[in-house]
Amino acid sequence: MQTIMVFFSLSIPEGKYTLKASYIGFDQHIQEIDINKDINLNIELSPKKFNPKRNYH
């Protein structure tokens, strides 16, 4: 499996936020964050499980 690394830098006001990270073919990551200082987050998305009974069309 190939590893893809992406870097984002955001400047947002202090407060509570819901962070959502997603990519096609991977499970979505949702995390509550409280911004009151500079933070670093490392997020790893897991590949979606293939379900042969699901209609992907």
pTM for the full predicted model: 0.69
Q: Which of 2, 8, 6 is nearest to 25 (CA)?
A: 2
pLDDT of residue 6: 84
Is 26 in contact with 45 (CB distance < 8 Å)?
A: yes
> 26, exposed or middle or buried, with CB in 10 Å at 0-12, 13-18, 19+?
middle
The predicted pLDDT at position 3 comes to: 75
pLDDT of residue 57: 61
**Burial 27-43, CB ≥16 within 10 A → b, else e:** eeeeeeeeeeeeeeeee
Residue 56: the pLDDT is 58
- The residues of the chain scoring below 70 in pLDDT are 1, 54-57
